[in-house]
Amino acid sequence: MNYVQQMRSLVGHRLLLLAGSNVIITDSRQHILLQLRRDGTWGLPGGLLEPGESLEQTAIREVREETNLAVRNLVLLGVFSGPEYTFTLPNKDEINVITSLFWTSDWSGEMINDPEEGQELAFFAPKDLPSDMNEEYRIYIRHYLEQKR
């Protein structure tokens, strides 16, 4: 049982403050790696902090779990928090997420989708992002593109 599951067993569906990391991974064409999540929407690799981890360690671990890729030289692009990052999940769990957004083009390994984490992995040109993407990830990608200018 992971940390969030342990907390849920204690507090039920009540609001939890959670910290996490997402990573924008680009290839040599500056295309962005996205994951088709199990809910049918596209998003960035990432996930929630486990006790004892740094936000950078969370980013590295989550990318490895979801894509089999090893990422290095992560650049912190920003931290996102506030009421617009408060969600009620389909199972009625309430969360307020504080997310660190990283970028890297320094990665290695064979990209392998973990079916426990998602359905597919693919690189997309920033101007050709899939329509079925949560607004949260669009905000992160817009922020990245603005930083690049």
Report pTM: 0.93
Question: pLDDT tens across 110-126, in order?
Answer: 999 999 889 999 999 99
Mean pLDDT for the chain?
Answer: 95
Task: Indicate if the pLDDT at residue 46 is higher than 90.
Answer: yes
Residues 6+ apart with CB under 8 A from 105: 25, 26, 27, 28
| Residue 90 clears pLDDT 90, i.e. is over it | no
Q: What is the pLDDT of residues 49-59, one digit of tens each?
A: 999 999 999 99
